[in-house]
Every structure is written in C-alpha cells, then in structure tokens.
Structure 1
Amino acid sequence: MKNKYTILLIFLCLISSCIYISTTPYDNSTLNFSINTDEKTNENKNLYIRENNNKTKDFENVEKANINKNNTQDNNIININSADKETLKKLPGIGDSIAENIIYYRENVSLFYDISDIKNVDRIGDKTYERIKNLITTN
C-alpha cells in the first residue's frame, strides 16, 4: 500500500512540473525590431534585432563595404558607426588609441544607436563627449 502512494506522489509531482514549465512564459521570447536606414544616400540598410537583455545582433541586407562611403556628411559631422580611424582622429581629443577603442566597441560590443552611447567606450567621459557631441552622428 505504501508503494502505491509513493508512485502516485511521484507521478503527481512530475505532472505538476510539466504543467508549470509549459505555462511559464519565456523571458527572452519577445524581440523588438527596428530598421535603421541612411535616408540621404540610401546605402546603409541594416536590420537590428535588439533582445530584452539589450545585446544586439546585426544582420546586414547590403554589402558591408558599401555602407556610407563618405563617413562624413556635408557639414563635417562624422558617423561614428562607419568612420575609419583617420576620420575619427579629426575629432577633438580623439587620438590613435581612443579611435581604436571606438572601432573595437562598435565591431565587438554594439553599434551606436545614440551619440551618447559613445560614453560607453573606454577613455571617453563626459568632458570628451561635450567636446565632440555636435560633431558626431549615428546615421
């Protein structure tokens, strides 16, 4: 008799666990979609998928070599998502190592979605940001 109750208890625990797992929502199942395009040249067409944990995956629809050929716009505003090292060095307070840090960050961590995101780069603080904020863009 005791053996029957043990088997019944194990069976009920298993069933309740299955029901709990199947009805609990998965946190990262919702993705936010946004499309970022460079409207002036229409060359930069990327699809960015941002997960709930704010990590970004970049899926390119266009060859990466054709993204924003100029790296600068008509009024000398520098696109920090596509500028090369020499272009970044034109910004006040940005030398070789900080330019390399910017390139490393956008290639290995995340693209910049807002110009204030550049403060996440190593060795760029509020003072440097205040000097360059009117000279940079992200699109």
Structure 2
Amino acid sequence: MDTSLHCTSKKKKKEEEEEEEKKKKKKKKKKKKKKKKEKEEEEEEKKKKKKKKKKKKKKKKKKKKKKKKKKKNIGQLKRRWNTHLWIRASLSFIDDLPQRRELSLEGGWDSNPPPTDTLQPGGGVKLRNAALLDPPPDK
C-alpha cells in the first residue's frame, strides 16, 4: 500500500471538511445578516408609523388654535357705502325724472321742493300753480 496516497486522501478529506465548515459559517453569517436587516427594517417601519401618528396629533393641535379676526379696512368700507348711497340716490332721481319734468313744465317745483305749508293733511301735495295742472272746466 502506498502511504503517500493515503495521506493525500486524508488531507483532501480535511480540506473538504474545512471548506464545508467555511461554507456553513458563511451561510450562518448570511442568515444572521438577513435577520439583522429584517429587524432593522421592521424597527424603521415602526418608527415611521409612530412619526406619522405624532404628526397627525400635531395637526389636530393646530386646528384647535383660534384664528385671529382680520381688521376691516374702514376707509374701503366707507368708500363702498358712499358709492352705494350715490347709486341709490341717482336711481331714485332717474325714477323721479318724468314727474319732475311735468312739474317743471307746469310751473311747479323747478327742482326745489314745495314749501311745507302747502302740504295737505291727506298726504297729497299742492303745487304753487295748481290751476295750471287741472284743465279749465268746459262751459
């Protein structure tokens, strides 16, 4: 029997066993790394969820704060009101135009209001030249 062959075969077996052990160790290390990564990812997800929940709570707190009332611009409001009054006055003047024309043609107001003593108790208004308003009676 050749002892050299036998020794080499033992050496080969040892080397193979060592390689297998190395492979097993590598696999274990890989598994450990994978487990660590998975744990870290899970922890990160939990942290993100907590952060999201915290953010939502902060938003609710913001909603509870009272809003400050805006100060109104008084000058702008006055201008708006004055234009409103001016428009109303001009519209009422336009509505009164036909009556004013008739009165001025018949010697009535001449764009001046009648004196207060010509007001009748019934609510009607006597004009200064009332005779001109009524047609003369037919004889």
TM-score range, shorter chain: under 0.3
Higher helix share: 2
TM-score, normalisation: structure 1: 0.26
* Higher-RCO chain (CA-CA 8 Å, sequence separation at least 6): 1
Q: Give 1 or 2 for the bigger CA radius of gyration.
A: 2
